[in-house]
């Protein structure tokens, strides 16, 4: 089955697009659509899409992103449970909220630490030719995934940064379908932020800790 999915589905801009990449892209788009609407079925879609992208990124030597997809698959189980049964620290239901000022600082510090740590690891222990770009995408995605699982609206801003940088990374690697996908993701990051912001009055506008 994996060999069949690794076959070329079509050629885009001179580079072959495999069935594997095509299926992973379609599932990822469906996942983001669910996330924007707070539909919990986006999480199982994330699991399947992530596992497919492990192979896609490993073949392109984007090892940080490949490892990140394995992490995403496991974290998606946690995120699914959070959206189904999660609560805030005060016992209230898990709804769309803003980070508190302290939570915002924590998120920024986490991004600032994760990026160089991942990049230095990739540069030393893998043969990637883009450790810092790959490290940025990987490090910030860890933060974005946590914020998404806890329904903090700021997750969309983190994903916007991740998706914009990813577009350049995938152009460099010739993954044209995934380049187009992440261009759409960048637009959907803005749309998701606006959609969740409209939910804040119903969810309560008070900022809460991470």
Backbone angles phi, psi at 22, to 5 degrees: -65, -50
Contact (Cβ atoms closer than 8 angstroms) between residue 93 and residue 38 = no
Angle at 80 between CA 78 and CA 84, to 5 degrees: 115
For the segment 166-186, the average pLDDT, to the nearest whole number, is: 88
Please state, as a whole number, how many other Cβ atoms lie within 10 Å of the Cβ of residue 126.
16
List the single range of 11-20, 42-51, 112-121, 146-155 with lowest mean pLDDT.
11-20
209 lies in a domain?
Answer: no
Please give the share of the chain, as a percent, with pLDDT higher than 70: 88
208 lies in a domain?
Answer: no
164 lies in a domain?
Answer: yes
Token digits of residue 147: 């914020």
118 lies in a domain?
Answer: yes
Q: How much is the pLDDT for 9?
A: 54
Backbone angles phi, psi at 8, to 5 degrees: -75, 130
Segments forming the whole domain that contains residue 124: 2-86+96-203
90-119 residue pLDDT tens: 888 899 999 999 999 999 999 999 999 999
Contact (Cβ atoms closer than 8 angstroms) between residue 144 and residue 155 = yes
154 lies in a domain?
Answer: yes
Q: What is the 3-state secondary structure (H, E, C) of 52-119?
A: HHHHHHHHCCCHHHHHHHHHHHHHHHHHHHHHHHCECCCCCECCCECECHHHHHHHHHHHHHHHHHHH
178 lies in a domain?
Answer: yes
Question: Full-prediction pTM beyond 0.75?
Answer: yes
Q: How much is the pLDDT for 59?
A: 79
**Integer Cα distance of 42 and 197 in angstroms:** 19
Residue 155: pLDDT over 90: yes
156 lies in a domain?
Answer: yes
127 lies in a domain?
Answer: yes
Token digits of residue 34: 């669910």
What total number of domains does the chain contain? Answer: 1
């Amino acid at each position: 089955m994996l060999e069949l999915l690794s076959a070329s589905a079509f050629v885009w801009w001179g580079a072959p697009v495999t069935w594997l990449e095509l299926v992973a892209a379609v599932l990822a788009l469906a996942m983001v659509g669910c996330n924007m609407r707070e539909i919990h079925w986006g999480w199982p879609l994330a699991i399947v899409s992530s596992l497919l992208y492990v192979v896609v990124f490993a073949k392109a030597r984007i090892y940080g992103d490949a490892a990140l997809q394995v992490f995403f698959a496991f974290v998606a189980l946690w995120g699914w449970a959070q959206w189904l049964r999660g609560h805030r620290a005060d016992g209230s239901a898990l709804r769309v909220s803003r980070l508190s000022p302290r939570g915002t600082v924590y998120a920024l510090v986490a991004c600032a630490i994760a990026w160089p740590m991942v990049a230095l690891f990739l540069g030393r222990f893998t043969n990637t030719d883009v450790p810092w770009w790959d490290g940025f995408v990987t490090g910030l995605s860890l933060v974005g995934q946590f914020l998404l699982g806890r329904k903090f609206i700021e997750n969309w801003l983190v994903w916007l940064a991740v998706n914009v940088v990813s577009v350049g990374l995938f152009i460099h690697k010739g993954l044209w379908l995934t380049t187009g996908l992440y261009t759409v993701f960048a637009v959907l990051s803005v749309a998701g932020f606006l959609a969740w912001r409209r939910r804040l009055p119903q969810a309560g506008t008070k900022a809460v800790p991470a």
